[in-house]
Amino acid sequence: MTTTPGGTDTSSDPRTHPALYDLIFGHVYASATGAVVDHGIPDLLADGPLTADELAARSGTQAGPLRRVMRLLAERGLFREGEGGAFALTGQGELLRSDVPGSQRAAVLWATHEMFRRSAEGLGDTLRTGRPGFDAAFGTPFFEYLAAAPEKARVFDDAITSATSDGVNEEVVRSYPFPGTGTVVDVAGGQGGLLRETLARHPGLTGVLFDRPGTVTDHLLDGEELKGRWRTEGGDVFTSVPEGGDLYLLKNILHNWSDEDCLRILGSIRRAMTPGSRLLVIDVVLPGDGSPHPAVGLDTVMLMLMEGRERTAAEFEDLLTRSGFRLNRVVPTAALPSVVEAEAV
């Protein structure tokens, strides 16, 4: 029981509910995390605990404010404060370092960047107009803005790379039964991380990496193991994609777009395919019954930034059916995305 000094029971008072305060002050925790990551504090703690004075001297910050912010984040489980005021990383805090597998440093910097923050501030207007908060804040659609701002595009690209790391690709390739032979076309495949993992695990496959011309030039497919088994091709996914593939991959693409744009993308892919060839849509699949899911928050992020959305299996099936596909099955993975297998009809 929690009581006031006068003896009143406050245990059911919503004003003292921790979850409510987490929601109200969530932006404070995010900003504090972004600040310590931006100043490289987690990397400074890689070799062991340091006091706020030591951290401040090495990071060019002020010890007093730093100590207070570190204390707040220690309460959130990112750091641990020991005797003598020395701070250490927790297991969760280790992910804020720049040099560890699965590092979330880039994701933190993106989620606390003005592009993200100002888009979130516009959610009230989004509820009234349906227009993404980003468009209202910056006066242009998200991807058009990034195309004209390379330094900000890099912040976003680094975050996406962090969120869709090799670990995710490994889980996708491990979870889905790829064929032993054939040609795999990775549509809008970026630098080819997924295609590289697919070809490495299945030596009988060949591959085509397809994306914008400026993107595929920075591919990750070089290496003796894959020599002679791949090629790159530049183009526009809304217009056409390479023909002749046995299996087409589309990872983390459809959730960026409205239903109308998804139909354009899927239609472009279907025109390149022959009946019976397969398409793997690798994306988050939300539960259809409203049960909790980690990507519900991501769906709100999409609402903030662009016309995209996360979808249920039924919503994917509707898009696929309207584009000339038959949904065969949804294969879950140990990572956030699932594999939606469809067949050209």
Active site amino acids: 255
What does the chain come to in residues?
Answer: 345
- Say whether 88 sits in a helix, a strand or coil: strand
Q: Within 10 Å of residue 56's Cβ, how many Cβ atoms?
A: 19
The Cα–Cα gap between 217 and 167 comes to 23
Beta strands in the chain (DSSP E): 50-51, 79-81, 86-89, 182-187, 205-211, 230-234, 247-251, 278-283, 285-286, 311-312, 325-331, 338-344
Separation between Cα atoms, residue 209 and residue 206, nearest integer Å: 10
- In angstroms, rounded to a whole number, what is the distance separating the alpha carbons of residues 240 and 64? 58
C-alpha closest to that of 317 among 301, 297, 340: 340
* Secondary structure (3-state) at 233: strand
3-state secondary structure at position 229: coil
Q: Which residues are CB-neighbours of 150 under 8 A, at least 6 positions away?
A: none
- Residue 337 and residue 171: Cα distance in Å, rounded? 9
- 323 CB burial (10 A radius; 0-12, 13-18, 19+): buried
Q: Which residues contact 333 (CB under 8 A, 6 or more apart)?
A: 171, 172, 174, 175, 176, 339
